[in-house]
Chain A
Amino acid sequence: MVNETIISVRNLVNRFGDQVVHNGLSLDVRRDEIMGIVGGSGTGKSVLMRSILGLQKPTSGVITVLGQKIEYHKPGPSRCWGVLFQGGALLSGLTVQENVELPIALYSDMPLETRHELASLKLLMTGLSLSVADKYPSELSGGMRKRVALARALALEPKILFLDEPTAGLDPIGATKFDELITYLHDNLDLTIMMITHDVDSLFGVCDRIAVLVDGGVQVGSIDETLDSDHPWIKEYFGVPRAQRARAAAGERHHGE
């Protein structure tokens, strides 16, 4: 059970005209792990996630999620995954409450009151106050929209969580609380997380393994393995002062526990 593969990507090729973004990329995400996806601009982080979600048709390759083969624009295991898009991607014609209740209404028969309470619970979990419940997404700030989107992603108690730059645009308190929430959920629930992020604090603080997208492929390893890598770009990425400080801070936190 422990090393069961939840997401399997085999020989993924994504070509756009002359530009080859992924050239035979293979990746396994194991059950119950938090995997950080890292890479420079244009290395295809979002393309990778979109391919896994069935939103992008790969040039070639086979992707399987929870045993189900993923096909372009065909429903995937929607009952079992939750996705946090980069901008939130809330439905603009629905209120906050309606946005979070929507998946629950789609996938269960529970009565209105229960649905309402569960949705409210998820909103509170992400640190929002219920005063936003009747607002429309256009009336919220970017950070609040993100939290609503997270609440929606968690609405169905998913087995897998996909996060695209979740802490981008959040203030330091919000970003820390987010990391804490993810850690809490992960520790207490059977949850596999794939997280695209540039936030080095999240990477060191939260992730079990890191997948670095380089040269059309991917280098996967634990934090220590990744830091030991000889690849020039990886060394540069983790060598910058920001990353060094984050590493040191995370190290201190771990020692302090």
Chain B
Amino acid sequence: MISSYLNVEDQHDRLIVGVRGDWIFDNVLALEDATASVVPHTGQAVTFQCDGLDDIDIAGAWVLYDRTEQLSELGIKSELIGFKAAHFKFLQHIIDAAAIREYEAPLDKPVRPKVLQGAVENLGRATSAHIEDLGEIARSILDGVRRPSLIMIGETIKQVYLTGVQAIPVVVVITFLIGIVTAHQAAGQLEKFGASVLVVDLVSISITREMGVLLAAIMVAGRSGSAFAAAIGVMKLNEEVDAMRVLGLNPNQMLIVPRILGLVIALPVLTIFADIAGIAGGALIAVGSMGISGLQFIERVAYSTDLTDFYVGMSKAPIFALLIAAVGTLRGMQVKSSAEELGLKTTTAVVQSIFMIIVADALFATLFTRLGI
């Protein structure tokens, strides 16, 4: 293998190295082995005779040149003859212009992991980041609502359509199915107490107070939270947001506020659909397989659930919508540099908005319990 690229002739005061074959990229590994085998004694000079070369490219030339550099560091003179000197002048020029950085393996610094300190630092950093986020979104909203323009109305309506109307089918289907599942599970347990008819109460109350709005919000967080973050993020990467500013348009007004407003309008309406679909799912099980008549079902719903329960659910919808839209648009605006960051921010937007919805839901539950509603 080695001898196909070099042959070495030891002539007492000098080493004659015949260079031949294809000194190209594909053979770099073998070429490095070959040049490493050129080991002159002290006092010997080296002559590389290159007439026998079939083919050479920059990579191959580099390997040869590198060896001559290594030899000269050892105080051994070498020369290259019978060869397109142009290649080496070229390399010489580049290397003189800037020293090639030697590859340095990263030093393994022995570090004692400061667990507690690290944790506290991270907590502090996260907290201040969250406070900054809160400030940023508040500023965006306030900036977007002063001196409103008519264009905002069109944008908002568009968002209501995209986030609300287009989400109706999927929200209706999932809440319908959850209604079925809830009724089915409840029936199994309540039958043991001979209280089967209470399935209706359970489904109706849980859907209107909790499940309808929560499921609709989670679906919307997935759909629209990611859409907001991704759309605005790409606009940032394409410099579209900058283009808007220099044209005198306010991105907070054009992009952020319509999305927030649109979702705040859309989610309560979606919640209504969700409530109806959920209860309908429960009805399917109750009337379909539990022997409760349709009339009995409706009476039971009217008896157990009153408008307060409906309002409890509905009151959460605008808050959830605000959380989803604020997180989504904020994360989108924070995209600065790369496609990878865009993906990360989009994911964060969805995860954080769902998390915050559920935390808010728990807080609401505590609040309503205290208020006795």
Contacts and interface: CB of A to CB of B under 8 A. Distances in A.
**A, B co-complexed:** yes
Interface of A: 92-93, 108-114, 116-118, 120-122, 124-125, 129-130, 133, 136-139, 154, 156-157, 184, 188-190
A100 to B, nearest CB: 13
A137 B336 CA distance: 12
A93 B339 contact: yes
Given A156-B25, A188-B87, 7 more contacts: A114-B29, A120-B100, A121-B58, A125-B94, A133-B101, A138-B338, A189-B57
Interface residues of B, number: 29
Nearest to B84: A188
A130 B32 contact: no
Residue among A125, A154, A157 with the most chain B CB within 10 A?
A157
Given A110-B28, A120-B101, A93 B338 contact: yes
A247 B86 CA distance: 28
A93 B344 CA distance: 12
Interface in B9-36: 24-26, 28-29, 32
A31 to B, nearest CB: 14
B172 to A, nearest CB: 37
A121 B339 contact: no
Contacts of B28: 108, 110, 114, 118
A129 B336 contact: no
Nearest to A125: B94
Residue among B25, B94, B339 with the most chain A CB within 10 A?
B25
Contacts of B84: 188
9 contacts: A92-B339, A109-B29, A114-B28, A118-B28, A120-B101, A125-B94, A137-B338, A157-B58, A188-B86
B97 interface: yes
A142 to B, nearest CB: 12
B315 to A, nearest CB: 43
Contact of A121 (B29, B86, B100): B100
B336 A138 contact: yes
B337 interface: yes
Contacts of B240: none
Contacts of A117: 62, 66, 100, 103
Given A112-B103, A117-B103, A184 B90 contact: yes
Given A109-B29, A156-B25, A121 B340 contact: no
Interface string B40-60: 000000000000000101110
B74 interface: no
A113 B102 CA distance: 8
B357 to A, nearest CB: 31
Nearest to A104: B25
B29 to A, nearest CB: 5
B340 A130 contact: no
B57 A121 contact: no
A238 B100 CA distance: 43
B181 to A, nearest CB: 42
B98 interface: yes
- Give 4 closest A-B pairs by Cβ, nearest first: A92-B338, A138-B337, A157-B57, A93-B340
Given A118-B62, A136-B337, A157-B25, A124 B98 contact: yes
B31 to A, nearest CB: 10
A61 B98 CA distance: 48
Contacts of B90: 184, 188
Contacts of A113: 103
Contacts of B87: 188
Nearest to A139: B337
Given A109-B29, A113-B103, A130-B101, A121 B338 contact: no
Given A189-B57, A189-B58, A110 B338 contact: no
Nearest to B91: A121
A118 B25 CA distance: 10
Interface string B218-234: 00000000000000000
A108 B25 contact: yes
Contacts of A110: 28-29, 32
Nearest to A154: B58
Contacts of B94: 121, 124-125
Contacts of A125: 58, 94
B107 to A, nearest CB: 15
A82 to B, nearest CB: 12
Given A121-B62, A157-B58, A157-B59, A114 B32 contact: yes
Contacts of B97: 124
A184 B90 CA distance: 9
B338 A108 contact: no
Contacts of B337: 92, 136, 138-139
